Every structure is written in structure tokens, then in C-alpha cells.
Amino acid sequence: MILKKAKQMSILAACFGLGVILSGCDSGGTSNSTGSTSTTDPTLIDGGQTSANFQLMLQSSQSTTQLKSALVLSAATSSDVTAGSSGISLQSASINIRKIRLKLPEGVTCNDFDFSNVSSVSCETEAKDGDANPESKIVVMGPIVYNLIAGTATPSLSSLQLPSGVYTEVELKIDDADSADGVVSLTDSLANHSLVASGTFMDSEGMEHPFSLALNFDEEIKITNGTGFEVKEQTINDILIHLNADQWFANLDLQKCVDQGDLSLAGDSLELEQKNVSDTDGQGDCKDIEDTIKNNIKSSMNVKEQDD
């Protein structure tokens, strides 16, 4: 990316930083936040060039900032099921992102940049009827596969170049991974799915069973902040979109559902898999369980500031 108008400066090895915590998505797929005030030197957010590392990763109330090899959600009891306790321990999780959009800071437009030499990155302007100030957004085309345990991306987004400034909106387009795109193989568990996870499930008698989850999304999730979050020059900024794993199984007592026969084990395993976006399993308290989990996952996204 080459800045046409903004001042030129050396590009630091940097990441994309959010100075606020954004709450979960509402039913419309939008996440909102109250934001925070800033005392940042204005010359560090005036449109000069910087770069970004865009991360998605799982986190729970029991995990540290950097997750270990497994993410454990506490076993369900009658008093804490609504808090997302589920008897699930996740050892792996991946998601397919088709497109990322970053709304440019106020006063910055696509005309300020030349994207002709930047692979998979472009800029688009959305002009609405009667709108004197159309919105400009950086568009990063996928597919991009995120390892949600490690927070790593394939291909890497460790050097996404963008202007400094106050950002107010991030959009994620999630859909099924296609082996024809060359990011996942035909035999990869994520092929033909949008999100997969695996680990163990502990039943009500304390016995562990293999657990797997495979979901299909075709949705765009918008995370907004009216106050705005800062992307600075001359600093290490991190974007960390955390998916709160404690919320994934909220209001679902998986142990009770298995005991009552509302969910069936496949041999010794608990497998929750969609064949397509309309396919659902479960009965009784776990009826349409995949759709419930998908809505919980959308509501679980938040963004935290990562200090150096």
C-alpha cells in the first residue's frame, strides 16, 4: 500500500490495536461499545502509514491472554449452565474468514491510497443516496483460516498496511472453506464448513468422550464503536478479536441432553455437525442445537487492547 497524500514514514513491525472492549453481537450481527477517551499525541493518528497484525482467538474466563494447548470450560451443574458451563474441553478450533472490512477513519478516503501493487487488499467506497460523505473501507480478501487456539492465520496477516487514525468499524464475512481455494485440503476437517472444533466432553458421570463441532455460516458480522479505537504510528499495536468460549454453549446443558436422549452419542463420541446451513440436530432442550451455538458464537466476539 502506498500513501499518496499522508506523510511517508518507516513501517514498523506492528499490529492493529483497539483501545476498547467491544460487547457481543446483537441479533442483527452488530457489536457495540461505549469506547474510551484518549490522550494520544495527535501526530500518531493523523493518517500516516502503519501496519497491522489481525488476530482471532478463543478465550475463556479461565484462560490467560495467550491460551495454552487446551481450553477448558467447567463441567455443568444445575446452578451454572446458563453461564456457559458445558463439560467441554477444546484442544483445536478453526474458522474460515472470507473477507475483512475496516472502515477508514473520518477524513480518509480511498483516493488517498494506491492499492494496485497490494495483493488481496483493495479499497471500496459505499455511496448512499443523499449521503454527502460516503464511507470508504479497506477490504482484505480471503479466504483466511484462523487457528483459534494459537491466534494464527493462513495466509498470515502480520503486515497489513493501513493509515493511522481512529477506526469505528470492523466487519467479518464468514462462510464455508473450499478446498479449491488452496488454503485447506479436501481432507481437512474445515473443508465445506465455516468453523470446526474438537476436544472432549465429560458426561454427568465424569466419563470423558471425544467431542467435535462443525458449523456452516454464511453471514457478515459487524463490530462497531461510536467513540472509535486508535491505530497508532511508531508503536506495536495488536488487534485481538476474542471469541469468548464460555458463551458458546450458554443455555445448553449438554450433559442433561445426553442423559435424556435429546442428544445421541455416535459410538463413544459427541458429534455436532451440520451438513448445510439449514441442517440441525437435537431434540427437547437441545433442539436445533447448532443454530443456538452459532448465535452464541456471534455474540461471543469482543475486541481487547493488547499492551506491549
Residue 45 pLDDT greater than 90, yes or no: no
pLDDT class of 75 with cuts at 50, 70, 90: very low
pLDDT average, residue stretch 82-106: 81
Torsion of CA 41, 19, 162, 235, to 10 degrees: 60
pLDDT class of 135 with cuts at 50, 70, 90: confident
pLDDT class of 120 with cuts at 50, 70, 90: confident
* pTM (two decimals): 0.79
pLDDT class of 117 with cuts at 50, 70, 90: low
Give per-residue pLDDT as tens, 244-262.
Answer: 887 888 888 889 889 988 8
* Count of Cβ atoms closer than 10 Å to residue 68 Cβ: 9
| Spatial contact of 124 and 110, defined as CB atoms under 8 Å apart | yes
3-class SS shares of the chain: helix, strand, coil, % to 5? 10, 40, 50
Residue 7 pLDDT greater than 60, yes or no: no
> Which is more confidently placed, 209 or 278?
209
Alpha-carbon distance values, 55 to 117, 150, 262 (Å): 24, 9, 36
Residue 306 pLDDT greater than 80, yes or no: no
Give per-residue pLDDT as tens, 171-227.
Answer: 999 999 999 999 999 999 999 999 999 999 999 998 999 999 999 988 898 877 777
- Domain map of the chain by residue range? 2-299
